[in-house]
Structure 1
Amino acid sequence: MSETLTILDRFYAAELAYLSGATGFEPVAEFLDPEIVLHQAEGLPYGGQWRGPDGLARFMAEMARTWASFEILAQETLVDGDRVSVLSQVRARGRATGTELEFPILQLIRLRNGRLAEVRPFYWDTAAVAAACTGADR
């Protein structure tokens, strides 16, 4: 397994442990570049740019408030140096609505010095995802 895949696997494990309440945020922060930027689609309840490890901590808290469950069913990863594409099939249930939804997310990730420096998730249908979160009509 490449070093990049090992870093991502360990990051995802730390993220899952944090979101489940098993650990604090520190194990996640170890994998983040100090200037990390997460770009979320504006049409989502947690949309916008989240900057730095503190921004990612706030984003993850917002995700926990938004989703009652968020499960990765399958992932495909393509590594090209410090750039990674991750296609995930997700099943999630909105906390406010109880609506369960399965959807793909494509994440374009850039690493710097072995840490996540930029993450750009792309959703096929942001309106459906937002509706599952908030109950608003598509």
Structure 2
Amino acid sequence: MATLEKFVTRMRSGDLSGALEMVDEEAVWQEAETLPWSGQWRGPDGFVRLENAISAWAEMIVRDYAVVAAGDVAELRLGLEFVSRKSGRRLPMEVVEHYTVREGRIHGANAFYKDTQAVNDLVKHG
């Protein structure tokens, strides 16, 4: 849990390079198949490409979060707000990410959005 807490703190403070140092080269980030940024993104470079893909459509603001131990994974509960690049419309969204963390390294995450249809609507219509 401490690793994920440190990762999120670095990301929120804008220390992307510090956060990426914590990501294993073999890490896999999995996103819902129905989203524009769907699929698997691999390694630290994949994480950056994923962040850029999301950013092309919307600014993603982390309003609050909690890290919870969940057996073999660490769960990151996010209160996000997506802001459409097209219209400026704001969409609050709950996202839960299950992270695999071993020996202080992040080996990937699987993201679960509360409402992928609402995200798609924001992306498509602004």
Tell me which residue corresponds to 1:65.
56
The separation in 2 between residues aligned to 1:57 and 1:95, in whole angstroms, is 19
Tell me which residue corresponds to 1:34.
25
> Alpha-carbon deviations, 1:98-128, whole Å to 9, x = none?
2211111011111122111020110121010
| RMSD between superposed Cα atoms in Å | 1.9
Identity of aligned residues (%): 26
| Shift, 1:80, TM fit | 4.3
The separation in 2 between residues aligned to 1:13 and 1:87, in whole angstroms, is 14
| Shift, 1:97, TM fit | 3.2
Q: Which sits farther off after the overlay, 31-40 or 9-18?
A: 9-18
Q: Where in structure 1 do 4 or more consecutive aligned residues deviate above 3 Å? A: none
Q: Extract unaligned runs of 5+ from structure 1.
A: none
Matched, 1:44 2:35: yes
> Equivalent residue of 2:44, what SS?
helix
Q: Is the 8 A contact 2:5 2:67 kept in 1?
A: no
Q: Which sits farther off after the overlay, 44-53 or 76-85?
A: 76-85
- The TM-score, its normalising length taken from structure 1, stands at 0.80
Q: Extract unaligned runs of 5+ from structure 2.
A: none
One-letter amino acid of the counterpart of residue 113, structure 2: Y
- The TM-score, its normalising length taken from structure 2, stands at 0.87
Matched, 1:103 2:64: no
Tell me which residue corresponds to 2:84.
94
> Equivalent residue of 1:107, what SS?
strand
Q: Is the 8 A contact 1:97 1:134 kept in 2?
A: no
Q: Is the 8 A contact 1:33 1:112 kept in 2?
A: no
Tell me which residue corresponds to 1:15.
11
* Structure ranking higher on relative contact order (CA contacts 8 Å, 6+ apart): 2
